[in-house]
Amino acid sequence: MTYHANEKGYYGEFGGAFIPEMLYPNTEELRQNYIRIMEEPSFKEEFDQLLRDYVGRPTPLYFAERLSKKYKAKLYLKREDLCHTGAHKVNNTIGQILMAKKLGKNRIIAETGAGQHGVATATVCALMGIDCVVYMGEIDIARQAPNVARMKMLGAEVRPALSGSRTLKDATNEAIRDWINNPVDTHYIIGSVVGPHPYPDMVARFQSVISEEIKWQLKEKEGRENPDYVVACVGGGSNAAGAYYHYLDTPEVGIIAVEAAGKGIDTGESAATSALGKEGIIHGSKTLLMQTADGQITEPYSISAGLDYPGVGPMHAHLFRSGRGEFISITDDEAMIAGLEVSQLEGIIPAIETSHAFAILNHRKFKEDDIVVINLSGRGDKDLNTYIDYFKL
């Protein structure tokens, strides 16, 4: 039994490539080459070197003493918030920009919701001197002005997605349409473990550096590679995929996935896909997604733009369906309070996405000697305005 993708990109019954024929040549080129390229010594060397010297890896595994005392468990924080650009997203964009170069592409497109993946993509494009177009919902452009400015400063063109609900889902649609229109010279850097095969597996592999580091770091600190639990927030699920990756097939490590309940699962304003979603097709992948009985994809809601996606990656759909993962959903209010608490107990202001992961400490009791690794996927600078409004700071 494995929880990794098979050669056709299926995690159990989820995954695959449900794409129009127009996208077949692009994804097929990627599918045939991605593993071979990732295993080339020259690729590995350049990837590792950039992660070390440019991103700042390895990121620390930090024992959170005051938080541990309060919640009576040994809590370790994997500090992805210390990555260049402020979140784990850059691990993937570094990998994919190198992949794009190997495939001879000279133009990059990406989608972004809150702007974190857009910034991470614009950053690596600046680094490599490659043209970059980032699609972003018109509504998100208005509410994430600082990240829009960052992308522009980095030389990227930010194109508003004007269709549908004008948020992340629609930005993804627009990026896919751009790729259909530009099938030869363009590489699409998807920001999460979503989309058609091979994207979920490729992005998970690039993010797997997170759990690779946790293993040896925990060995140094605790004399063992395996924690009792790994906790991560899940929107599309890339930071979670990275944090779980090397533990997927190690059943003694508990996997906890934290989704955004928004204003509450039953309020109609939620993004808790495992609770509200049904099997279907979104952005080329068979997975769990929020939809009407008729199969129209619905709009999710969360205070956190990074969790505001109506599906989850197929890996996570499989973790949920098989029972391998424990899924917990956290409301806006619970997340905000947890974010404030972590700030004041540990001196770390987390991204609101990550605050959802911390909020489970009030729901889920651990044993006192349990070692729990929480993936601190991003820092809260980008969310300052939301925190200010919420707490009237």
- Which residues have a catalytic role annotated? 89, 111, 377
Which listed range, 74-82, 107-115, 145-153, 164-172, lies at the site for other proteins (CB under 8 A)? 164-172
173 is a contact residue toward other proteins (CB under 8 A):
yes
Q: Which of 284, 300, 314, 378 binds other proteins (CB under 8 A)?
A: 284
105 is a contact residue toward other proteins (CB under 8 A):
no
146 is a contact residue toward other proteins (CB under 8 A):
no
Helix count (H) and strand count (E) of the chain? 16, 14
Beta strands 107-112; 285-289: pairing state: unpaired
The neighbour count for residue 52, using CB atoms within 10 Å, is 11
**Contact criterion met (CB below 8 Å) for 260 and 307:** yes
Distance CA 229, CA 256 (A): 7
166 is a contact residue toward other proteins (CB under 8 A):
no
CA dihedral 16, 299, 271, 375 (to 10 degrees): 60
Distance CA 265, CA 298 (A): 14
Distance CA 198, CA 54 (A): 26
372 is a contact residue toward other proteins (CB under 8 A):
no
Tokens of 362: 């009030």
291 is a contact residue toward other proteins (CB under 8 A):
yes
Q: Smallest distance, Å, CB 180 to other proteins?
A: 5
Cβ-based nearer residue to other proteins, 105 or 169: 169
Q: Which of 149, 184, 384, 388 binds other proteins (CB under 8 A)?
A: 184
5 is a contact residue toward other proteins (CB under 8 A):
no
Beta strands 254-262; 325-331: pairing state: parallel
364 is a contact residue toward other proteins (CB under 8 A):
no
Distance CA 105, CA 236 (A): 25
163 is a contact residue toward other proteins (CB under 8 A):
yes
Q: Smallest distance, Å, CB 179 to other proteins?
A: 10
Q: What is the DSSP letter of 54?
A: I
Distance CA 198, CA 308 (A): 23
Which listed range, 110-118, 132-140, 280-288, 329-337, lies at the site for other proteins (CB under 8 A)? 280-288
Q: How many residues bind other proteins (CB under 8 A)?
A: 35
268 is a contact residue toward other proteins (CB under 8 A):
no
Q: Smallest distance, Å, CB 171 to other proteins?
A: 12
296 is a contact residue toward other proteins (CB under 8 A):
yes
Q: Is 337 exposed, middle or buried (0-12, 13-18, 19+ CB in 10 A)?
A: middle
322 is a contact residue toward other proteins (CB under 8 A):
no
Chain contacts with other proteins (rule: CB under 8 A): 16-22, 24-25, 163-164, 169-170, 173, 176-177, 180-184, 278-284, 291, 293-298
